[in-house]
Homo-oligomer: A and B are copies of this chain.
């Protein structure tokens, strides 16, 4: 049945992604078939291919949608409090937001059972560290306004920042059962560690509005890119 309402398309895409995310988490990457997804989403299999060009792309879209959502939360927080653009605050919130989203969490903790291929795919990179953790523009902005330690240049963070952040994410499944910390406590450690490692000892009481606005623009652009991956029409 053809309807073609312009906004229905987005709604349908979301329905398909909802189903995919659900099955992905319950059954794992390998057991999810397009037929099953299409059936549960109430559409024909061919319809799925009207949205994405292949199986991989669908899983990627699920992850990208969650990433966009996480960035939305980051942006909202930055709007509410300009200090949220500070490196340690940003990463703290990203950590919390990412860990609360099952698929993103699986991506970051490298849960092979549920994500398998997605982790091996080179196109996964845009999801991971690179952009999210160390966007050059964002770090440049911090540097320009004295929000990085010493004369620490943004590019000096290229290696250590993603390494440290990755450490907090990926060490999750390895945590000794003696260490039982809640998400917020872990996030505090992330913030504390990053603050001391990469920021000046004393930070300004508040971040100038224009700086925050610039940061927000950077992350909104990033969210837009993720949504393109999410809903970008098939080939």
In chain A, positions 191-227 with a C-beta closer than 8 Å to chain B are 192-193, 196-198, 201
A35 to chain B minimum Cβ distance, whole angstroms, is: 31
| Chain B residues in 8 Å Cβ range of A192 | 160
Q: Confirm or deny: A186 has a beta carbon within 8 angstroms of a beta carbon on chain B.
A: yes
Q: Least Cβ distance of A61 to chain B in Å? A: 22
**Would you call A165 an interface residue if the criterion is a C-beta within 8 Å of the partner chain's C-beta atoms?**
yes
Closest beta carbon of chain B to A159's beta carbon, Å? 5
A: number of interface residues (CB 8 Å): 32
Q: Identify which of B162, B167, B174 contacts A164 (C-beta below 8 A).
A: B167
Known contacts A193-B197, A196-B197, A186 near B159 by CB under 8 Å: yes
With both chains docked as a complex, state the minimum distance between the C-beta of A230 and any C-beta of chain B, in angstroms.
23
> For the complex, what is the distance from the CA of A176 to the CA of B170, rounded to whole Å?
17
B-facing mask of A94-134, CB < 8 A → 1, else 0?
A: 00000000000000000000000000000001001110000
How far is A26 from B215 in the complex, measured between Cα atoms in Å? 48
Q: Which among A164, A168, A190 has the greatest number of chain B C-beta atoms within 10 A?
A: A164
A163 at the interface (CB under 8 A from B): yes
- Closest beta carbon of chain B to A149's beta carbon, Å: 7
For A80, the chain B residues whose CB sits under 8 A away are none
> Do A129 and B174 touch (CB < 8 A)?
yes
Whether the Cβ atoms of B163 and A167 lie closer than 8 Å is yes
Asked, given contacts A163-B171, A174-B129, whether A149 binds B196 with beta carbons under 8 Å apart, the answer is yes
B179 with A174: CB separation less than 8 A: no
Partner of A171, one of B125, B162, B179, B198: B162
CB nearest to A178 among chain B residues:
B158
Asked if A158 meets B179 with Cβ closer than 8 Å, knowing A164-B193, A196-B196, A201-B201, the reply is: yes
| Complex Cα–Cα for A174 and B167 (A) | 12
- A sample of 15 cross-chain residue pairs with beta-carbon separation below 8 angstroms, ordered by A number, consists of A125-B176, A129-B171, A158-B176, A158-B179, A159-B181, A160-B193, A162-B171, A163-B167, A163-B171, A164-B164, A164-B168, A166-B167, A166-B170, A167-B168, A196-B197
